[in-house]
Amino acid sequence: MHRFVAYGIFFVAYLLILILLSILIQPLLGLLLWVLAALILYSLADQYGRDIPWIRKLLEDLEFKYVETYESVTEPNSNDEGNEDKSIAERTGDSAKYYSNKISEDMANYSKSFNEWRNENIDISKSVSATSNYIQNFSFNSPGFYTLRLWLFIIIFPVVIWRVGILEIVWLPIYTWYNILGFTPFQAWNMASASTLGLSMFLTIRIYSHCTNNRTLPINSEIFSDYDTYTLRHLFQMPRRGSFTLTIRSLFLQFIIGWLIIIGMFGVETFEGIVCNPEILNDLNGVDLDFLTIFTFLLYLSILTPVVEEVVFRGFVLDLASEKYGDWFSIFISAFLFAIVHVEGVTVANAFIAGLIFGHLRIRTGSLWPPIILHFLWNTHLYLVEIMCI
């Protein structure tokens, strides 16, 4: 009993320390001090709590109070003259014996009742055996989890693994390495982005090939090694006959809607104010446009970005979603995810509309080349506008 009181007292002290530290100390240092305070106070409560005089006095008073409570409840002959001569220790022993006998009797009755109920209503051994067999036979790759695996591939890979994991986390040490090699910060940014895009292209093709060769979409150790050259031939096949006219119409539609979104969101009146708006086109402000800078930016923004993003969203996501859902719903899913990974407000709106156009173009032409070309032209024309505005 005394340990619980000590724990409670020191826990209150710990809460007071937490409040004080949260006011006076920075978060990270405060966290470390909180952990240290918890260890110290727990050790004091566990080992030395009873040796502190005022705590010991409090515990003795509580224990004496419990003795009086036991005495009043459990002694049927507490008014007898013989009881008056008993010491506190003897009366405590009698109380403990009474409760021990009572608890034993109650437990025996409970066990008997429980066994009768169990025999009448359930066969525990069969239930445990069935549960054990279910756990042993459980597989995440079973047909019942196909839809869940499909959505894990559709959402987790492009958003978490590709966008956050590769293009954000893996990007950082590569960017640091290019800085060490002597590139300017802007060149290192472009080179690191191009490198991570190339790495993500390799991983995307591998996972796409795995899903193509295994239509049940299993998640196993062969997910990155199950490669088939058919994957690239399928994604980059020549467009169907008549695709040129559709591609030209889609190009005009994308540019018209894209610039209407920019004008509508920023409300500028002159063409110069539109194309040179610093809130939209500010990547090259203050950058020395030498040949290497222009080349690295062109490589990253105009070439690798359209190719890799189309492989991820109009290739992997769109084809995988179409395994279960219709074309238009699959186009919407790919466009929605494509917009999510573009974090700026105007870019999100443009990315969603472009995703719908690119997805429809991929379905109609059967190839990634038309959406890649449109994506390339949109990114490159923005890049050229930035150069003209400097």
* Pair 360, 221 in one domain: yes
* Pair 25, 156 in one domain: no
Domain hosting 325: range is 147-389
* Pair 198, 104 in one domain: no
Q: Read off the pLDDT band of 290 (50, 70, 90).
A: confident
Q: Flag whether 247 is in a domain.
A: yes
* Pair 170, 269 in one domain: yes
More confident residue, 264 or 246: 246
* Pair 116, 157 in one domain: no
* Pair 155, 241 in one domain: yes
* Pair 187, 258 in one domain: yes
Q: What does each C-alpha distance from 60 to 68, 75, 89, 220, 254 come to in angstroms? A: 13, 22, 13, 62, 83
Tens-digit pLDDT profile for residues 294-343 = 888 889 989 999 999 999 999 999 999 998 898 999 999 999 999 988 87
Q: Flag whether 127 is in a domain.
A: no
Tens-digit pLDDT profile for residues 98-135 = 656 666 666 666 565 656 655 655 555 555 555 555 55
How much of the chain exceeds pLDDT 70, in percent? 57
pTM greater than the 0.85 cutoff: no
Q: Flag whether 342 is in a domain.
A: yes
Among residues 208, 245, 241, 201, which one has the least CA distance to residue 223? 208
Domain-ending residue, one of 120, 137, 158: 120
* Pair 151, 73 in one domain: no
* Pair 248, 301 in one domain: yes
Domain count, the chain: 2
Burial class (CB in 10 A: 0-12, 13-18, 19+), 255: middle
* Pair 116, 152 in one domain: no
Confidence (pLDDT) at 306: 95
Among residues 2, 7, 8, which one has the least CA distance to residue 62? 2
Torsion of CA 159, 161, 165, 171, to 10 degrees: -90
Q: Flag whether 12 is in a domain.
A: yes
* Pair 368, 226 in one domain: yes
